[in-house]
Structure 1
Amino acid sequence: MLFINQQRALLAGCLSLGAIALSFGGSAEAQTVRPQQLAQVTSVSQLSDVQPTDWWFSALQSLVERYGCIAGYPDGTYRGNRALTRGEFAAGLNACLDRINELIAAGLADKVSREDLATVQRLQEEFAAELAALSGRVDALEAKTAELEANPLGLNATTSKLGFQVTTGIFAASEPGGATNNAIIPYEINVDFDTSFTGEDLFRIRLQAREVSQFDGDPVGFLFGPAVSGAGSDINDDVNLENVFYNFPLFNGRVDATFGLNDTTPGDTFVFGVPFQPLSDFADLPDVVYDGVGDTSLAFTWEAIEDLFFVSYGFGAGDPNDFTDGPASSVFGGGFFAGPTVHAAELAFTPTDTLIVALAGALTARGQAGAPTGFPLFADTDFAAASIGVTWEITPAVIFSGWYARTFVESGGFDDFDDFLAGFAFPDLFIEGADGGVVVGSPDSATANLIADDDGDFPFYAEVYYNFPITDNITITPGVYYITNVDGDDDDIIVGGVQTTFSF
């Protein structure tokens, strides 16, 4: 027994010369490319081409009975007359090693004879290089198999991932002018391909399919729906390329830069954010960017003073693919500079880890008619907007957030308008991972799109929601929001429902 214990480190998995040479007598292709075609046998009689008159018959019989590491082909043959390469021999040696280790681990070391151990030791010394190479290939194969199991599309497990999110629910509304007994079931499906080239950057491609209707008289719509406004606005899409952007650090991480190729706005890089997870689209960031400007953008955020002061700037273009002409229904131009454009900037102050105060502004132009002359980055401004926002974590369980935005309209037939929002979010309310919220405000700019004239009465908005997880991948959000004076005639609308989000 002492002799056997001393041999355990040496026996990474070998057997006698006869066992290995005869048990793996197939071609190199059969051993290295299609090893799964070999099958263990429990009796020599299972091998149709092995006869008692063969000179290796007794050796095979003994090895099957003692070690059980003889393999045959699926057609029941052994092919013992075929030539054996050193690589095939090493493969057989390595396979039979596992069997000896199993016997030792099971306390059956006495079943391994001293003669076989001595033979195996000599073989291991002779074929050390081949065994090392084979071990490396096996380790690489196991690592690749594990990666493919974790990422069936072949994405790098450490730098890439594939994510799915499906948002749906059932919603109903009491519309202006009377109640309705109908309900809708909208949906939005997002597929995100995320990858990183340096470990600190992010490249994302998002595919999206959605069918989201906006109730007649609802000026804000759902948070998971499209950024549209107006009575009866509707999106019914096939699968589309929804979002493409690349976010990357510069200057040792002091600058966070983003290049957005599709459906991105300069404000996407701003520091200020709200903690709400509501049903409505209004309980989000202030919309200081004209809706038509949301395709291509170049933006950055500079950490001017570490953990204290941030400066952000972005330039966006709404129709960058067309040099001179905008959409067929538009009289405005296209291209990166002559189409709809926006310049947006933010100054964010973070005096503590729990407080953010931010000032933001934007200049937006709907575009020129015809090709640009010169470099008209700030030409033909139609909208100007400014906002101030505050988010304060009062305690880990109570967060206050609010903002005020003023939009100055130079054209379009509407007066200037004011939006504001304020509310409280309650993380981990009742259960861990849940989030409740109460929000009030005025969606003045959204309501202005529904009426020809502003009668001076601002609309009032209120929402209550509770977002809670069912599992790590399923979240339920019941909620209701209420908006007054949505069409200038003191009409109200109430929208409520239950939203479900699946993420995996």
Structure 2
Amino acid sequence: MSKIFWNVLKVSPAVLAASLLAANSALAGEANEQITTVAQLTQQNDSMGQVTSVSQFSDVQPTDWAFQALQSLVERYGCIAGYPNGTYRGNRALTRYEFAAGLNACLDRVNELIATATADLVTKEDLATLQRLQEEFSAELATLRGRVDALEARTAELEANQFSTTTKLVGEAVFDATQVFGDNQAVPNPQTPTRDLTSNTTFDYRVRLNLLSSFTGTDQLQVRLQSGNNVNATPNVTGTNQTRLAFVDNTSNQVQVDKLNYAFNLSDYIRVKVDANTAELWENVNVFNPDFRSSGTGAISRYGRFSPIYRLGSGGAGLTVTLNPKGAISLTGAYLASKASNPDAGFGLFNGDYAAFGQLEFKPSKAFNIGFAYAHTYDGARNGGTNNVNFTGNTGSFNAIAPFGTGVATTGNHYGIQASFQPSSKLTIGGWAGYSNAVAETGPNRGRDAEVVYWAGTLALKDFGKEGNVLGVVFGQQPTVTDTPVANRRDGDTAYHLEGLYKIKVSNNIQVTPGLLVIFNPENNDRNDTIYVGTLRTTFTF
């Protein structure tokens, strides 16, 4: 209580006593005005008026030696009164009664301040209740203290042994067992004799390690290491790229720097990404197929992941700029050069193969997204097969991949529309359609054009059978040549793509996906038998 008293009073006992005594020092002997009894003092005090400022005393000057002490008692504590004529009479003698009355007035004021300051403090009953609760929950409190100590120890260990303050490691390992079923290999030309389809069950893997670094909190430097042994056996066995699987990446069991890029914000409305190698549009833009876009956890086929327009120009350096990336309407522009690192004639960043891409996205709500994409490409094929044309990103028929032949340089104008609709949290419907116009730049058909079309629809049922599981279906038509001046490179029939998969969430880090891919009229030739590809993919993420 004494501590509270002096904190409120803000002066020491010596200062209080000195202030009361000094302000009424006996420097003048006005005996006739002395008050010698408590009754007289009380009567006299009744005639005194309480003051709120020391300036109200006409006989007190700032030069007086006790001015500051008197000012503190009057203005800070309000326990000093003056005479009716507005004087303090600080030079008159002080009786013991006057001292007692003045001290009592100040103590009353201090007690009042203490009561006000401590009104919200806990009572003894509150303290007793708190002590009882502490005793009752002593075991729980001890456990909590132990957990906090353990967390502090673990945090200290992590800080001492952390890999990096700016970089985190994200990994993915994919194992798959695949079997192809069918009577004959597919051939593009109905007049070409077919061969029996012979297939053995294969087991392959692909491992990716991503080093993701951020230096400002909004940027990202990606370095991806990859190793795998999937040698794209499915097209070799089936005779068509229409059966190509999504997770095919062969490095002959060698570790390679598969990706190197840096993304950053120029402002709140401009996002820039620079790819040093293996630039891929589908990594940089919205492809409107969220449940199937990933090669490790999405569709099992290459075509089922997204529209082929996002595969154009892949493989080299690139620059992607997105305006208003978080807005309801956004615009993306990109330039990719697949042979940017080759200085030979006809290659390089601006004198070789390239894709100039643009996409306008409308995202009025989280449930509905739609995009319109355009790409202009140049594929400067070299006779001799060192740089064969890849007009559709290794999707569709062989005629669509090279509309005028594998050794004919080709330019293209590609148009695509993509959309996804999520009417509920458990259902997503999507799809895309595209048209490409190819123009021969070399050979006997130079200046002539060909037309390629494709489309697909997707359906994803989330939490099907169990929370976290996804049942998926993809149906469509892979890129098909509908018109070309080269008679033997026009697709006569329509091949249909049907894909079913069931993503089973074993845990947050393990997913098992059985899937079946069916190609009707492979290579757009109805004389070819239907081909089936069954696969069991297991994906580990860490």
Query: By how many angstroms is 1:201 displaced?
Result: 1.5
State the AA in 2 paired with 1:347.
L
Within-5 A mapping of 1:314-353: 314-325=334-345, 333-353=346-366
Residue in 2 aligned with 1:382?
411
**2:502 is the alignment partner of 1:484:** no
Q: Distance in 2 between matches of 1:497 and 1:166?
A: 16
CA gap 1:468/1:290 in 2 versus in 1, 3 angstroms: closer
Query: By how many angstroms is 1:341 displaced?
Result: 1.0
Residue in 2 aligned with 1:462?
498
Residue in 2 aligned with 1:146?
158
Q: Distance in 1 between matches of 2:426 and 2:510?
A: 22
Contact 2:481 2:490 in 1 (8 A): no
Structure-2-length-normalised TM-score: 0.57
Aligned length: 335
SS at match of 2:364: strand
State the AA in 2 paired with 1:397.
K
Residue in 2 aligned with 1:421?
456
Query: By how many angstroms is 1:368 displaced?
Result: 9.2
Residue in 1 aligned with 2:477?
442
State the AA in 2 paired with 1:205.
V
Q: Distance in 2 between matches of 1:218 and 1:172?
A: 15
1:197 to 215, 240, 247: 215
2:533 to 479, 495, 498: 495
1:177-219 deviation per Cα after TM superposition (whole angstroms, max 9, x unaligned): 1564621112111111111111122111001111112322242
Residue in 1 aligned with 2:45?
none
Q: Distance in 2 between matches of 1:385 and 1:176?
A: 35
Residue in 2 aligned with 1:278?
299
Residue in 2 aligned with 1:310?
330
Contact 1:319 1:340 in 2 (8 A): yes
**2:417 is the alignment partner of 1:394:** no
Q: Distance in 2 between matches of 1:471 and 1:140?
A: 28
Within-5 A mapping of 1:226-375: 226=249, 236-252=252-268, 254-274=269-289, 275-276=291-292, 277-288=298-309, 293-303=314-324, 307-325=327-345, 333-367=346-380
CA gap 1:453/1:322 in 2 versus in 1, 3 angstroms: closer
CA gap 1:168/1:399 in 2 versus in 1, 3 angstroms: same
Q: Distance in 1 between matches of 2:479 and 2:174?
A: 27
Residue in 2 aligned with 1:96?
none
Structure 1 segments of 4+ aligned residues over 3 angstroms from their partners: 139-144, 178-181, 234-237, 289-293, 412-415, 445-448
Query: By how many angstroms is 1:381 displaced?
Result: 6.5
**2:430 is the alignment partner of 1:409:** no
Contact 1:169 1:499 in 2 (8 A): yes
SS at match of 1:336: coil
Contact 1:266 1:313 in 2 (8 A): no
Residue in 1 aligned with 2:246?
223
Contact 1:269 1:312 in 2 (8 A): no
CA gap 1:272/1:367 in 2 versus in 1, 3 angstroms: same
Contact 1:210 1:237 in 2 (8 A): yes
Q: Distance in 2 between matches of 1:466 and 1:368?
A: 40
SS at match of 2:413: strand
Q: Distance in 2 between matches of 1:444 and 1:418?
A: 5
State the AA in 1 paired with 2:213.
T
CA gap 1:324/1:496 in 2 versus in 1, 3 angstroms: same
CA gap 1:385/1:279 in 2 versus in 1, 3 angstroms: same
Query: By how many angstroms is 1:388 displaced?
Result: 0.1
Query: By how many angstroms is 1:446 displaced?
Result: 9.9
State the AA in 1 paired with 2:246.
L
SS at match of 1:338: coil
Query: By how many angstroms is 1:273 displaced?
Result: 2.4
Query: By how many angstroms is 1:454 displaced?
Result: 2.4
Query: By how many angstroms is 1:346 displaced?
Result: 0.2
1:307-338 deviation per Cα after TM superposition (whole angstroms, max 9, x unaligned): 3111000011111122333xxxxxxx111100
Q: Distance in 2 between matches of 1:181 and 1:297?
A: 39
1:14-60 deviation per Cα after TM superposition (whole angstroms, max 9, x unaligned): xxxxxxxxxxxxxxxxxxxxxxxxxxxxxxxxxxxxxxxxxxxxxxx
Residue in 1 aligned with 2:164?
155
1:432 to 435, 459, 467: 467
Q: Distance in 1 between matches of 2:310 and 2:287?
A: 15
Contact 2:378 2:411 in 1 (8 A): yes
Identical counterparts, % of pairs? 22
**2:175 is the alignment partner of 1:168:** yes
Contact 1:214 1:222 in 2 (8 A): no
Q: Distance in 1 between matches of 2:534 and 2:377?
A: 34
The structure with the larger Rg is 2
Contact 1:447 1:487 in 2 (8 A): no
Q: Distance in 1 between matches of 2:210 and 2:172?
A: 8
Q: Which runs of 5 or more residues in structure 2 are unaligned?
A: 1-137, 140-150, 185-195, 293-297, 383-408
Residue in 1 aligned with 2:39?
none
CA RMSD of aligned residues (A): 3.0
Query: By how many angstroms is 1:250 displaced?
Result: 2.3
Q: Which moved more, 1:263-272 or 1:197-206?
A: 263-272
